Amino acid sequence: MPPKGLYAVNKNTTLCQFRNFLKAITFLYSLIIMQICKALL
């Protein structure tokens, strides 16, 4: 029983890390696009 619970927690943590990673990527991507737009204008 404990290993199964531990696995579930690990899976959940990985999902949270992946979400945060996606948020960071999206944020950086939007910043880069803003910089490109400023450079073009």
Q: How many CB atoms lie within 10 A of CB 23?
A: 10
The phi and psi torsions of 39 (rounded to 5 degrees) equal -65, -40
Q: Taking CA 18 as the corner, what is the angle to CA 5 and CA 28, rounded to the nearest 5 degrees?
A: 160
CA-derived radius of gyration, the chain: 18
Split into its structural domains, the chain has a count of 1
- Residue 12, domain extent: 1-41
pTM of the model: 0.57
Model confidence pLDDT, tens digit, residues 11-38: 778 888 889 999 999 999 999 999 999 9
User: How many Å from the N-terminal Cα to the C-terminal Cα in the chain?
Assistant: 60
